[in-house]
Structure 1
């Protein structure tokens, strides 16, 4: 008859449970996996499947009681690592969404908004369109596989250990890198914004030269049409842009892990 103790049972469960917590936290914030169309049951099942698949290749799990103080600290630690990696990778969509919001505001489409399935919030129509386009390019470049590869690398750089202490400067890095969203978002929207600014200047001069003209009637369709034309001209560069943002996201995630692993 087979006999085993409660400590052995906890150790066997821990081989899957501790990776499962980190994987689930990542899937809850990473692109594609965190979409609102993905049911919670599917996300949890996928996290469990990934955890069982990678468990034999991971370093030894710590022998920690789940309900002990160390167990609670270890649980919070895995959640923070997963959420941090997800935030770093989501940078690519945050940049595009901000850029689309700025362009929409200048084109006069700021009042028009739809539910974005990627972020789960109400965003301007143009941001929604650009997010879906970037999502397709992201999946076409196997971005979801790069997310899982980054996850596997995290278990090497940041193993599940009760003695692991995350460097506090990691959180400062995540916050400071958030400034990239605004700088890159404005840089991406600059070609379209430049066109719209020139149109506004021309409309202002026209309004001074011919006060009898209704600038609002002329300006709105003109801004909308030229804005869409500028976006159409900019579209061929989207693939190169997404490749650059994806590379930046992966580099940022790796930098965050290396910083967290420093004593």
Structure 2
């Protein structure tokens, strides 16, 4: 009869639970895998499959009981590391949504809202279009493969039982500033053209006060906004590719030099 002790059972369960927590954390925060359009059963099965594949390749696990205060702390650490990896990509998608919000506001389409199942709220239709475009480019660049590769490499760079460096947390907080800088950068073509159009309308209204700015100003700014957006969309591949490249590089930078 095969006898298995409680310590062996705890070690076997921890062998899968701790890496599973890190993978689930990434799936909860990353915008593509965290989409509500993906069934939860698929997410759970995908996380379990990755866990089974990566578990035999893990470095030696700490000799800590799973059902203990230290084991729970390690579990929360793994969940936080996964969330950090996914949060970096979340900033990229959210910056595109900010760019769409700025464009829609300047075009006068702030009232044109669309239900976003990802956030379970109303978002501007322009933001939704740009988000879909960015997600498709993410898949075209094999970004999901790169992200999973970074997640697998994290088990080597930050082994289970090693805490996240405080420097990485500070860099992650500073990384959130890109949310506004990238959003403004991506929206500059449309916002700039509409700024020129609004200045021209102001000069015309000043020169000829009999013109009703509301009768021709809104259709004109709407038309110029759509034309600028139409001309800008084919050119967004380069900037978005650059943003994704910086995001992947930053994710790798976060996972170096762990503190024991």
2:242 is paired with a residue whose SS is helix
Contact between 1:35 and 1:120, CA under 8 Å: does it hold in 2?
no
Q: What is the alpha-carbon distance in structure 1 between the residues aligned to residue 233 and residue 31 of structure 2?
A: 22
* Partners of 2:30 and 2:90 within 8 A in 1: yes
Please name the residue that 1:31 is paired with.
31
Alignment partner of 2:109: what SS?
coil
Q: What is the rounded CA distance, in whole Å, between the counterparts of 1:195 and 1:262 in structure 2?
A: 49
Secondary structure of the residue aligned to 2:236 is helix
State the partner residue of 1:128.
128
Q: How does 1:29-108 map to 2 (within 5 A)?
A: 29-108=29-108
Give me the whole-angstrom Cα distance separating, in 1, the residues matched to 2:170 and 2:111.
35
**8 Å contact kept, 1:23–1:82:** yes
Q: In structure 2, how many angstroms separate the alpha carbons of the residues matched to 1:115 and 1:188?
A: 22
SS at match of 1:134: helix
Is structure 2 residue 216 aligned with structure 1 residue 215? no
- Shift of residue 145 of structure 1? 0.8
Aligned residues of 1:36 and 1:120 also touching (Cα < 8 A): no
| Shift in alpha-carbon separation, 1:119–1:59, aligned structure 2, 3 A | farther
Task: Give 1:180's match in structure 2, choosing from 178, 181, 190.
Answer: 178
Shift of 1:42: 2.1
In 1, the alpha carbon distance for the partners of 2:128 and 2:224 equals 19
Query: 1:114: how far off?
Result: 1.4
- The answer to whether structure 1 residue 201 and structure 2 residue 199 are counterparts is yes
Indicate yes or no: 2:221 matched with 1:226: no
Q: Secondary structure at the match of 1:258?
A: coil
The Cα RMSD (Å) is 1.5
Q: Which runs of 5+ in 1 are unaligned?
A: none
Query: C-alpha distance in 2, partners of 1:156/1:121?
Result: 38
Cα distance, 1:165 vs. partner? 2.9
Deviations 1:111-132 (A, max 9, x none): 2221224454432110000000
TM (normalized to structure 1)?
Answer: 0.94
* TM value normalised by structure 2: 0.95
Would the aligned equivalents of 1:32 and 1:118 in 2 still touch at CA under 8 Å? no
Structure 2 CA distance for aligned equivalents of residues 120 and 86 of structure 1: 19
Deviation larger for 18-27 or 134-143: 134-143
Unaligned runs of 5+ in 2: none
**C-alpha distance in structure 1 between counterparts of 2:163 and 2:55, whole Å:** 22
Aligned-partner Cα distance in 2 for 1:72–1:95: 34
What are the superposed Cα offsets for residues 125-181 of structure 1, whole Å, 9 maximum, x if unpaired?
1000000011111111111111101101111111102xx232222222111111111
Contact 1:90/1:249 (<8 A) preserved: no
Aligned partners of 1:24 and 1:231: how far apart in 2? 37
Q: Aligned to 1:28, what secondary structure does the other structure show?
A: helix
2:23 is aligned with 1:15: no
Describe the superposition over 1:60-81 as per-residue Cα deviations: whole angstroms up to 9, x where unpaired: 2223222211011101111111
